[in-house]
């Protein structure tokens, strides 16, 4: 007979692991199947030549110990519930922006310091700057007061609405607005509006007009409350801690186990079939894959496939990890940077350079006297499809592109090319292979003007099949997919008869 559990989670990304850990802690037997030998997906770490590198994500919210500060502090609350500790280092700057015409501004944890630095650059917009960022603050204040749960859970909505009627109504109104249109009510300077577009693009890969005000309120206000905190040991410490908490309560992560199909019988998910033919049955199945991959690979029903026009497909990435002579990095250098040389190209493929130096916060990530650096830009699989990824031409093309990217980054660190001692690269094809994501995409994005509540929630058209991750509300980013995992676990737990306590 096939093995049977309460819940199966497909994929050990942060959303899936969060849902699994909370369900297992609540007493539901849960298994996570992961094709790779490591957890976390793009929020993971790898080692090379004595360095520890972040595979993707490195800007983390939700780790404030003081629950009165920081939107929900989901990571802290989850790890506290699981009885797992994770050490973090506070980052005084979310991102240091290096922009055309000598425009430089660090997004300081200290909100007044950040707003004052913007006001010095744009003294004629001082009042508008304050009013716009106060709008984001008002969204933060609402979200910080409301408990996390599923927007599809009628009981949850009733509880929240009864306890916080005015805040719930106000949040409903806020979902109607975009970040960009709100900014334009108060600000007119073109350069400052470019910066606000980039504030959005830095995490959503969309301009401010296309970004819901609610999402912006989470990311651009919480950085001044909960702040940005980096996990000691690299981003892989987060999924490792989730796995530890999950296993502590009896859960099982089956690494090296790829799910080939979700078994659907009489219109309902009843388990999964692995690539080796093994079947495991469950009362509920959670897909941590994208909506595209869930309904083109895991569920074999053409009627459920996601039309291409439903979402904007976010690009993928070309990434470069560098081990460098530590002398190249000056004292006081911030961890996260964004470099834009031309405003007309910031949202084009490769137009914006994302740059991080995590070893300035955590020296253990690099050998003594060295630093670990990470550079990446948007890219697409079609730019690399002419190459066989196993061939010499592919390797040469990657090395050439990496050299051009390193040369561009010398505007931030002069002499960087000569300081490089180790180079590791990845194309969008690498993201396809390792993450099982359509075109290696950062995920599905809403179209400009669409209400954020139109983002898919945790339920799917298939009974007992649920979703977590960046295809679901609220969207991209580690704290966002963590929320999706909490929401998914909350809904399933209520359906299976043992509701979760609010975090």
Phi and psi at 456, nearest 5°, equal -55, 140
User: Tell me: the pLDDT tens digits for 453-490?
Assistant: 778 899 999 999 999 999 998 888 898 999 999 999 99
Q: pLDDT tens across 393-422, in order?
A: 999 999 999 999 999 999 999 999 999 999
- pLDDT at res. 71: 57
Q: Which of 483, 503, 9, 487 is nearest to 495 (CA)?
A: 487
Please check whether residue 33 is in contact with residue 10, taking contact to mean a CB–CB distance below 8 angstroms. Answer: yes
The pLDDT value recorded for residue 158 is: 86
The pLDDT value recorded for residue 155 is 85
Annotate 18-34 with b (16+ C-beta within 10 A) or e (fewer): bbbbbbbbbebbbbbbb
- 10 Å Cβ neighbour count for 308? 9
Residue of 149, 272, 138 lying closest to 214 (CA atoms) = 138
Query: Cα-Cα-Cα-Cα dihedral of 462, 465, 470, 471, to 10°?
Result: 0
Residue pair 208/183 in contact (Cβ under 8 Å)? The answer is yes
Residue 465 Cα distances to 100, 269, 272, 288, angstroms: 48, 6, 11, 11
Contact 319, 485 (CB under 8 A): no
Tell me the DSSP string of 254-321: EET--EEEEEEETTEEEEEEETTS-EEEEEEEEE-S-HHHIIIIIS--GGGPPPGGGSEE--EEEEEE
pLDDT at res. 70: 55
The backbone torsions φ and ψ at residue 254, rounded to the nearest 5 degrees and listed phi first, read -100, 95
∠ CA 7-257-259, rounded to 5°:
60
CB contact set of 145 (below 8 Å; sequence gap of 6+): 164, 167
The whole-model pTM stands at: 0.94
For residues 5 and 163, give the distance between their C-alpha atoms in angstroms, rounded to a whole number.
35
Q: How many residues does the chain have?
A: 503
CB-based contacts of 328: which residues, under 8 Å, 6+ apart?
Answer: 371, 413, 415, 416, 419
Radius of gyration of the chain from its Cα atoms, rounded to whole angstroms:
22
- Give the mean pLDDT per block of 10 residues along the chain (503 residues): 92 97 98 96 95 95 75 86 95 97 96 96 97 93 82 83 83 86 96 96 90 86 92 97 97 96 96 96 96 92 87 94 97 97 95 97 97 97 92 94 97 96 96 90 85 86 96 89 94 95 83
Phi, psi of 118 (to 5 degrees): -70, -40
Domain with CATH 3.50.50.60 in the chain: 3-58+234-307+445-495
Q: What are phi and psi of 124, to 5 degrees?
A: -75, -10
What tokens does 440 get? 């290696």
Domain spanning 3-58+234-307+445-495 has what CATH number?
3.50.50.60
Side-chain-side CA neighbours of 8 within 13 Å: the count stands at 27
DSSP state at residue 40: B
> Nearest Cα to 15, choosing from 466, 426, 493, 496?
466
């Amino acid at each position: 007979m096939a093995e049977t559990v309460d819940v199966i989670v497909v994929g050990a990304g942060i959303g899936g692991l969060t849902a699994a850990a909370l369900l297992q802690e609540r007493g539901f037997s849960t298994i996570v199947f992961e094709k790779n030998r490591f957890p976390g997906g793009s929020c993971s770490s790898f080692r090379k030549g004595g360095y520890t590198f972040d595979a993707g994500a490195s800007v983390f919210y939700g780790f404030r110990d003081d629950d009165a500060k920081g939107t929900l502090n989901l990571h802290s609350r989850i790890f506290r519930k699981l009885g797992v500790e994770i050490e973090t280092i506070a980052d005084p700057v979310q991102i240091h922006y290096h922009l055309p015409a000598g425009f430089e501004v660090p997004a300081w944890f200290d909100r007044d310091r950040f707003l004052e630095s913007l006001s010095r650059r744009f003294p004629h917009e001082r009042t508008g700057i304050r009013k716009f960022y106060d709008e984001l603050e008002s969204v933060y204040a609402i979200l910080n007061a409301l408990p996390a749960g599923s927007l599809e859970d009628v009981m949850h909505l009733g509880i929240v609405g009864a306890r916080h009627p005015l805040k719930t109504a106000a949040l409903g109104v806020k979902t109607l607005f975009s970040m960009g249109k709100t900014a334009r009510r108060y600000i007119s300077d073109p350069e400052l509006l470019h910066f606000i577009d980039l504030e959005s693009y830095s995490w959503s890969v969309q301009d401010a007009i296309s970004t819901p005000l609610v999402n912006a309120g989470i990311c651009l206000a919480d950085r001044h409350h909960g702040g940005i905190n980096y996990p000691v040991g690299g981003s892989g410490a987060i999924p490792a801690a989730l796995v530890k908490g999950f296993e502590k309560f009896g859960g099982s992560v089956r690494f090296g186990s790829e799910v080939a199909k979700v078994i659907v019988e009489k219109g309902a998910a009843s388990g999964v079939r692995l690539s080796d033919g093994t079947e495991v049955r469950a009362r509920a199945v959670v897909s941590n894959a994208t909506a595209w991959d869930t309904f083109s690979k895991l569920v074999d029903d053409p009627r459920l496939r996601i039309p291409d026009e439903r979402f904007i497909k976010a690009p993928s990435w070309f990434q470069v990890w560098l081990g460098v002579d530590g002398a190249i990095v000056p004292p006081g250098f911030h961890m996260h940077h964004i470099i834009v040389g031309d405003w007309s190209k910031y949202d084009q493929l490769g137009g914006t350079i994302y740059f991080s130096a995590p070893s300035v916060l955590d020296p253990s990530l690099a050998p003594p006297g060295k630093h670990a650096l990470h550079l990446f830009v948007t890219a697409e699989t079609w730019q690399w499809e002419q190459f066989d990824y196993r061939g010499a031409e592919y390797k040469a093309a990657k090395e050439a592109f990496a050299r051009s990217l390193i040369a561009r980054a010398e505007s931030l660190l002069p002499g960087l090319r000569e300081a490089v001692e180790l180079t590791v690269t990845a194309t969008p094809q690498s993201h396809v292979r390792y993450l099982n994501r359509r075109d290696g995409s950062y995920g599905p994005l809403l179209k400009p003007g669409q209400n954020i509540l139109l983002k898919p929630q945790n339920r799917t058209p298939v009974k007992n099949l649920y979703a977590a991750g960046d295809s679901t509300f609220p969207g991209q980013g580690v704290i966002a997919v963590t929320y999706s995992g909490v929401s998914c676990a909350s809904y399933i737990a209520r359906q299976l008869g043992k509701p979760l306590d609010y975090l």
